[in-house]
Amino acid sequence: MDTVSFSLIVSSLILFLYFMLKRSKSLNLPPGPQKLPLIGNVHQLAGLLPHRAFRELARKHGPIMHVQLGQISAVIISSPKLAKEVLKTHDIALADRPTTFGSELVLYGNTDIALAPYGEYWRQMKKIASLELLSAKKVRSFSRIREQELDGFLKFLRSSSGKPININRTITELINNVVCIASFGKNCKQQQALLEFLDEFQRVNTGFYVADLFPDFKFLYVVSGLRSKLMKLHKTLDKIFDGIWEEHEGRKRDGEEQEEDLFEVLLRIKEEGGLEFPITNNNIKAIFVDIFAGGTDTSSITIGWAMTELIRHPSVMKKVQAELRKAFKGKGNITESDLKGLSYLQSVIKETLRLHPPIPLLLPRVCREQCKIAGYDIPAKMKVFVNGWACSTDPDYWEDADVFKPERFEDTSVDFMGTNYHFIPFGSGRRMCPGITFGMVAVELFLAQMLYYFDWKLPDGLSPTDIDMTETEGSLVSKKFHLYLIPTTYAPDN
């Protein structure tokens, strides 16, 4: 870097800080940890995952904190009471999403649902998602796909009896097969490429990269190599969808009849027209990034953590298997309609989501118009993170908050539908997750069958206390080191 560009950068930073300071003096911003020049609080995140670092800081500085992450001014909410203020009282004022250079480029100008700015386009697409793509009826129509894929999975487990299998990888593949067939029909040749694309996109689009924290300094995208990575990803996604369109045309030409998949639903809606915002092919691609990302990883992460906690807590494993083996006794084939009334399984899933929500900081929001939270000013454009994980492990609301104890959900009406702010794994308010039914059916069905048909143990020489619980980095948090377990086929005595 030459001397002229260096001086330019330093003087722009000084000017930027001067205006930030002047502006913040006239506002009553929430308190927060002391900020260092230029980087603000970035150093306090070093070495810890953001949801953990924010919970630590909140314990010292309170449930509403102002932090400066480079150029990004953000408020962190860490208590159920204030989460309610953000997600209910000020839901509309705080209903925008932040965008990054990456999401702008790869999601075709943020025309998906999760990152689209609050407004009429987002409203139209969320309605299509809720009524057409992810409705209870549509989710039910995919039950054959789930059951067929599960059949293959159970055969694989039987053939692996006595041998260690990688739980996280096999579950991700199973769920991804279901999402892929529901989205694009059988034998989609682009599945692997799409998975690799998502993996890489989630790695580079966390919003916590240095270039994302200093968005005005566009050269950082270039010098860090992020720009070229994102351009490459954008091209890859286009190529994948060229393939998907070709396959779709091929199936139409061959006159193949099958259940209307999600891609066909969107093409039908596009062709029917009459929408305030006509859907383009690029909008369709952006929406499938949401469906693929939302549909695969969140559910497989939940099953992965549930199996991890069950193997660490043998008495819970025994109790949930006893419930399933009693309920399914004498039933030849277990289907989705047999899952009703399995209250302890439900408690195990809820407790897993409480301790290991796949998206612990929910998706961040951006303030659209100045409002007050807990008496503090939240100016327009301020980024707001609700630490859902801090809320669901808040010792004021949960006894032994960090301990896995599914019994706490027995005989309570606490659920994850967005009105109990101490348990919000799917978020709450207008921007709440529209994929709850789609995600939860798969989690319940697959977990129930894995636990009914098989007993599970750790590979020789390992004990439950040896399990490494380290989490991955990124907005989706899964188990960093995959769990290996040995299945043994359970023979019901009828």
Which residues are near ligand HEM by CB under 6 A? 113-114, 126, 129, 134, 290-291, 294-295, 298-299, 302, 358-359, 362-363, 425-428, 431-435, 438-439
**Torsion, CA 338, CA 178, CA 491, CA 319, rounded to 10:** -60
- 371's enclosing H/E stretch is strand 371-373
Nearer Cβ to ligand HEM (63/295): 295
| Residue 65: φ, ψ to 5° | -130, 145
Nearer Cβ to ligand HEM (363/467): 363
Q: HSE-up of 161 (CA within 13 Å, CB side)? A: 11
Instruction: Give the count of beta carbons closer than 10 Å to the beta carbon of residue 353.
Output: 24
Which DSSP state fits 406? G
| Cβ atoms of 427 and 433 closer than 8 Å | yes
Strand 484-489 and strand 165-166: pairing? antiparallel
Instruction: Give the count of beta carbons closer than 10 Å to the beta carbon of residue 264.
Output: 17
* Residue in the block written with tokens 């994980």: 389
Cα R_g (the chain), whole angstroms? 24
> Whole-number minimum distance, CB 347 to ligand HEM, in Å?
16
Nearer Cβ to ligand HEM (127/252): 127
Mention every residue, 6+ apart, whose C-beta is less than 8 A from residue 289: 106, 107, 112, 198, 201, 237
> Whole-number minimum distance, CB 302 to ligand HEM, in Å?
5
Give the separation between CA 149 and CA 146, rounded to whole angstroms. Answer: 5
Instruction: Give the count of beta carbons closer than 10 Å to the beta carbon of residue 337.
Output: 8
Give the separation between CA 331 and CA 70, rounded to whole angstroms. Answer: 59
> Whole-number minimum distance, CB 405 to ligand HEM, in Å?
20
> Whole-number minimum distance, CB 57 to ligand HEM, in Å?
21
Nearer Cβ to ligand HEM (230/447): 447
> Whole-number minimum distance, CB 58 to ligand HEM, in Å?
19
Nearer Cβ to ligand HEM (44/352): 352
* Residue in the block written with tokens 């709850």: 436
**Residue 195 CA: distances (Å) to CA of 66, 227, 245, 272, 280:** 36, 21, 17, 30, 23
Nearer Cβ to ligand HEM (121/398): 121
Nearer Cβ to ligand HEM (208/438): 438
> Whole-number minimum distance, CB 439 to ligand HEM, in Å?
3
Nearer Cβ to ligand HEM (298/387): 298
Nearer Cβ to ligand HEM (121/217): 121
> Whole-number minimum distance, CB 116 to ligand HEM, in Å?
7
> Whole-number minimum distance, CB 440 to ligand HEM, in Å?
7
> Whole-number minimum distance, CB 295 to ligand HEM, in Å?
4
> Whole-number minimum distance, CB 132 to ligand HEM, in Å?
12
* Residue in the block written with tokens 């932040």: 98
Say which amino acid occupies 309: E
Nearer Cβ to ligand HEM (67/262): 262
Q: Which of 140, 133, 171 is nearest to 443 (CA)?
A: 171
Alpha helices in 205-261 (DSSP H): 210-213, 219-223, 226-253
> Whole-number minimum distance, CB 190 to ligand HEM, in Å?
17
Nearer Cβ to ligand HEM (42/77): 77
Angle between helices 262-272 and 281-292 (to 10 degrees): 150
Nearer Cβ to ligand HEM (32/435): 435
* Residue in the block written with tokens 């980087």: 39
Give the separation between CA 371 and CA 379, rounded to whole angstroms. Answer: 7
* Residue in the block written with tokens 């796949």: 358
> Whole-number minimum distance, CB 378 to ligand HEM, in Å?
16
